Homo-oligomer: A and B are copies of this chain.
Amino acid sequence: MLKHILLGFLSYGSMTGYELKSIMDESTMHFWHAHHSQIYTALRSLEDDGLVISEIEDGDDTLKRRVYTLTESGRADLRRWLDTCMVERSAIKEELLVRVFFSGERNKQDVIDELRLQRQLHQQQLEHYQALEKVPFHGVPPEEMERLAHHGPFWTATLRFGIAYERSYLGWLDDTIQMLEQLTGP
């Protein structure tokens, strides 16, 4: 998955590992994230497979930025991946739900407090998405905007997913907090 994300971003233009990490933190963060260590090793592995090539940016200064460029083989691999439709749902892994599931023996107020904290976090996340929605092409340099304009609707769609998800999450948290408050016993 990460490899295809990297190929996807490199299809927009050549970039360093650091830039890929930054752009992911600004855009795919809410549906796929990766640590910088993972990105650097994935890029090396993509290079071993001939899907990208790298070169050190003009070596007149000591700061060595390794710029990665998509190869034809890499572009073909990306296209093949995109053209192969997903035929399953992607599975959810939500730690909070595991905790709620096993919370039958916990102190009721502790559970409520935990859900209220999560409520805050998800509220913040919702506000973050809503702010991003107002600034289309956040993180895209102005000179690239025109060339990438036709990606806009797709980027916006993923953002709308995030907004719908957080709203639904907040609704569930509110319902569950209310249910717990009405529950008798500890």
Q: Which A residues are closer than 8 A to B by beta carbons? A: 1, 4-5, 8, 11, 27-28, 30-33, 78, 82-83, 85-106, 110, 113-114, 117-118, 121-122, 125, 148, 150-151, 153-155, 157-158, 160-161, 164-165, 167-168, 171-172, 175-176, 179-180, 183, 185
Contacts and interface: CB of A to CB of B under 8 A. Distances in A.
Given A32-B94, A97-B158, 10 more contacts: A8-B101, A28-B101, A31-B93, A32-B95, A32-B98, A86-B96, A86-B118, A89-B125, A104-B148, A165-B168
Contacts of A160: 172, 175-176
A5 B113 CA distance: 22
Number of copies: 2
Contacts of A165: 92, 165, 168
Given A31-B92, A93-B32, A86 B114 contact: yes
A121 B91 CA distance: 12
